[in-house]
Structure 1
Amino acid sequence: MRPILVAAAVALVVSILFTPYLIRIFSKQGFGQEIREEVQKSHSAKRGTPTMGGVAILVAMWVGYLVTHLTVTETGPSASGLLVLFLTTALGFVGFFDDFIKIRKQRNLGLNKTAKLVGQLAAAVVFAILVLRFPDVNQVTPASVHLSFIRDISLISFGAIGFVIFAYVAISGWSNAVNFTDGMDGLAAGTASMVLATYVLISFWQFRNDCTVVPTPGCYTVRDPEDIAVVAAAAMAACVGFLWWNAAPAKIFMGDTGSLALGGLIAGLSMVTRTELLAIVIGGLFVVEALSVVMQIAVFRTTRRRLFRMAPFHHHFELAGWAETTVIIRFWVLAAITCMFGVGLFYADWLALSDQFQ
């Protein structure tokens, strides 16, 4: 528990103190946000607000993780922890270039679809290959090639090549889902904080019930669960610290730098904790936001009519007359409900397996 608390405390402090420094630097450099044409009337006051604040989240997460290993833990960083951090940072770089192009061209379009696709593909493929190349002494890789809900589904195995493809689909899907959600002050950061807090609980519970330490009914065979909890705690606290400045009215936006990185982080955590399908429940708000975009496009192309006033989904309510803060708070409530439901499913699975042997 101590490493988790230290990682969270350090990341929180770094994020709160480093973010205003970025605000000053980016403001002087003119790194301001461009606004989508569809919402310019309601969001016109946000034009010019510093963006690329995801840099603060990434820095705070890394500092929290490294300081924890330098001062508290007796072992060095794990393969699982470093691989998840690599994936998060790689997608952060893709988002950074996307944000930078938007700023240079003074428009709300950065990297084209092909360039962003290549960036996500490269990060996902490297992550997946490295996951398969780092088995421990028991030949257990940081992630499983089986599809997982709360545990591996033994009947569904991807194999090595299939796992690489699955990893790309999951990483691309989650990074885009968080990116779609990042359209209102604090919406993505607040939701991500809850999802990451949920993964702190899940990975810590897996650590306390690790089959390699105490082989008991209902134990887990995931690798490096304590270190994954440290990563999730550092990221969660980094998001909370950033939210201090990103909450309405936002002083800075995370940009694609933050949203793509956080989406990749959630995907990575789901794979190393073997909860890929459970993540869909935990991050239900992100999933709904992404589905709203897919549905809007599908319906418009087939009927030439719009299913929602605007996609992603949060803009539908904004155009319906809801105040921005009302949309944000109610969406946070929904995110909290999905996270609690996910924790409930996770605990119920453990309880059911434990009761079978009593």
Structure 2
Amino acid sequence: MTIALLRNARIVDGTAPEPTEPMAIVIEDGIIREVSPNATATTDEVLDLQGLTVMPGLVDCHVHVIATTANLGLNAALPSSLVAARSSVLMRDMLMRGFTTVRDLGGADRGLQLAVDEGAFLGPRLVICGKALSQTGGHTDYRGPYDNRDVSWYAQSLGAMGRNCDGVPEVQRAVREELKNGAQFVKAMADGGVSSPSDPVGYLVFSVDELRAMVEIAKGFGTYATGHLYADEAIVRALDCGFECIEHGNLISDATIARVARDGIPVVPTNITYDILAKSGAKFGLPPESVAKIADVREAGLEKLEKMHAAGVIMGYGSDLLGGMQTEQSGEFPLRGRYIPADAVIRSATTDAAKVLRMEGRIGTIAPGAFADIIAVDGNPLEDLDLLTKQGAHMPLIMKGGVAVKKAESL
């Protein structure tokens, strides 16, 4: 049994506009056992966090740990061994920014998850959907016009974000295979996208029957389906078919915002990716036809943040960055902070993120029974969200599951 005691912890988790009074946190075998002003424990491992702000480990609800380059067609063709090696670096860097749990939206498999769990790779806790489900000519079909080569190999390539499946029987098989292989939820490319060549935003790709088939199987396995969605028509269509989460949502209408708020459907905006793609996408390998699509969704996504916050929509923190752009993962904090209050921004990466991942009480909180995922920040992020950027430079302590993966000498 391992026991640790953290003292003088003024906690910020986004549920209040001010830090708590100083608390003591007792950690036993990687789990938080007690949080109170007077908690104590017999242990030699005592950390005094006086003068720091203490937060739950951050949660990013939309990452792609296998996206080692922004050219996703090229990425899919890389050797899986090379993708795994590069992914280990991407995941390590995520953890060192304070992200102790991430939800991968296409590509990461059970092998990467086990590599992290077993300690072979240093990285955040991974929640995975396996391959995202796409279709011929849809998002994650990177062949483009005039290229009709078979891409059935996508399903076996670690570097491929998704797999193509056409028609209800193929869709059913693909969903069942991904769930069999360890997927914890189902992700469908239910709209066109930016990074693929032949699917304009607003492209109604899968048929209604195909979408319903995904939902039926996901629910039968005790989980849910989420969708890559931009256009309001595509969002409504997916909701009508039973989808229970929306990724991106940049072109969502006011009426649909009211609907998802009423029904408790989470949305995961990913605005930092459009900001970076617009400035540097070509430099990082994004094809010209993809760069041209960015303006369609960039400004609209920022406008919707305010409307969704005002309506009370559950919003998870999402970055969705690719390749070398992943260094900007924390940039979503100050970007959102220009449109909604700081406590709401922080909540999107803590308690609201836990709702998106269906892990309430286990992540995104400092409370008894939760994983001891804890970061300490030099300053108050409620007053300055930039403290959560700079590659973790303002985080003298990063703890995942009770283990300090970063600990300043001053502690």
TM-score, with normalisation over the residues of structure 1? 0.27
Higher strand share: 2
If asked which structure has higher relative contact order (CA below 8 Å, sep 6+), I would say: 1
Higher helix share: 1
TM-score, with normalisation over the residues of structure 2? 0.25
